[in-house]
Amino acid sequence: MKNSRKRSILLVLLVLFFLSGVGFLAFELYMNAANWALKPFNSHLSLNSLANAGKIFDRNSVILAESANSKRIYNKDDQIRKALFHTVGDENFNVATSIQSKFRDQLFGYNFFMGVDSPEFLREHHDITLNVDSRLCKTAFAKFSSHKGAIACYNYKTGELLCMVSMPTYDIENPPNFKKNTDGQYDGIFMNKAMSSSYTPGSVFKIVTAMSALEDLPDATTKKFTCNGTEIINGQPITCMGNHGSIGLRDGLRYSCNIVLGNFAVALGKERMEKNTKKLGFGENVIMDSMEVKSSSYELSSKSKDAIAWSGIGQDNVLLNPIHMLTIVGSIANDGVAVMPKLIKEVTGGFLHRKFNDNTQKKSERRYMSSETAQILTEMLSYTIKNSRISSLFSGLDVCAKTGTAEVGAGKKPHAWVAGFSKNKKTPFAFVAVVENSGFGGEHAAPIAAAVLREMCAA
């Protein structure tokens, strides 16, 4: 008797266990079937699969892509099409980080019982509304002219990504002949450089060195170094464009003095520079709407003092991703807390209004530095712009920023950079722009960012 009771209990437990397993599988299948069925590696589905897909809107309900008569069509304005090509994407997954590649499952539609072959009227199409403003992107695109590079702007309080443009680009409705790429004009054309590139930062990185000094050196605001144009560190000359005399961190940033910021990096040393860059998210990916942004890196070529000095002025092996830099300047503006950027505003429509990837809707934050450091940096970056040759570009916009001109090797023009924000509470916008192989940051990157910021603040 005892044995048979034991056996029946065991059997009941086994049955329960089996049923709960089946239940779990069914639940997983229901929740994830669309995501699994529409993965990019199921390439047989990619052919014309957006022919009846949902729409993509910008923040002002401007249609960026829609389907009509079994064909995917894009915005009527060719400049908007070009400016948003990397954000919207194409139909063949060429731009890995685009909405049409990454969020194909929502756009495409799927029916739980009938799968991808379900009749049109049973599919759960979703429309995707983005945070970007297509007019701002068009302005940025026009300002870039024929240069390569990237620009990104966002609201540092909410994380809404308002502008993102990558160059070079092309018109998806009139593609060029990519085989005739004789002078390399189409190199990197399928890469969203704001999200997937990292560049030598040059002097915009001095913001990071200054942050590090303010966090870890008790005398950071009073300490002075003397710039005579050149200083020999560990037998290697560190050079500066000026001859700035004895100055501290504030004027070091204002004049973008290599000797001062190089010496601050040496005073901090390798360990503290590494600790602080790590705190700012170097070496890890910014996550934007479940998409990974290429990580920035701070890995020195050697432990020697000259390598540390060069790293403090954004040279040596330092690499910076534009979207990541946007979160750094955004954190300075936001009292030390970085709000991660969000490209997607909302996903709507579909049967039962079921939503996928709800993690795209959450605000994600992280403290990069103390509130005090953020306040001192804000004052220093405001002072830098007020006393710079480009102050008139940003007049009336309460801008705190730093330009950069990054040396990228003999015979090549430097990368021009600018990164900053408006400290006006009514216009909480941060910006970053990098223009490849163009020249000075103040001359090539700042005018593009200023034009976009001015339009953003006027809206």
Q: Which is nearer to Zn ion, 9 or 241 (CB)?
A: 241
Tokens 């990519």 belong to which residue?
A: 178
Shortest Cβ 90–Zn ion spacing (Å): 47
By C-alpha distance, which of 87, 232, 241 is closest to 172? Answer: 87
Q: Are 92 and 147 in contact (CB under 8 A)?
A: no
Shortest Cβ 72–Zn ion spacing (Å): 54
Q: Residue 306 corresponds to which tokens in the numbers above?
A: 């000259």
Q: Which is nearer to Zn ion, 330 or 404 (CB)?
A: 404
Quick one: DSSP state of residue 132? -
Q: Which is nearer to Zn ion, 242 or 396 (CB)?
A: 242
Q: Which is nearer to Zn ion, 227 or 288 (CB)?
A: 227
Shortest Cβ 204–Zn ion spacing (Å): 17
Shortest Cβ 225–Zn ion spacing (Å): 9
Shortest Cβ 417–Zn ion spacing (Å): 18
- For residue 414, say if its preceding peptide bond is cis, omega within 30 degrees of 0: no
List contacts with Zn ion (CB under 5 A): 227, 240, 242, 244, 257, 259
Q: Residue 237 corresponds to which tokens in the numbers above?
A: 């000359």
Buried/exposed code over 336-372 (b: 16+ C-beta within 10 A; e: otherwise): bbbbbbbbbbebebbeeeeebeeebeeeeeeebbeee
Shortest Cβ 249–Zn ion spacing (Å): 13
Q: Which is nearer to Zn ion, 249 or 344 (CB)?
A: 249
Q: Can you tell me the distance from the alpha carbon of 5 to that of 10, in angstroms, rounded to the nearest whole number?
A: 9
By C-alpha distance, which of 233, 419, 392 is closest to 326? Answer: 419
Q: Which is nearer to Zn ion, 127 or 306 (CB)?
A: 306
Q: Residue 209 corresponds to which tokens in the numbers above?
A: 């060195």
Q: Can you tell me the distance from the alpha carbon of 250 to that of 164, in angstroms, rounded to the nearest whole number?
A: 31
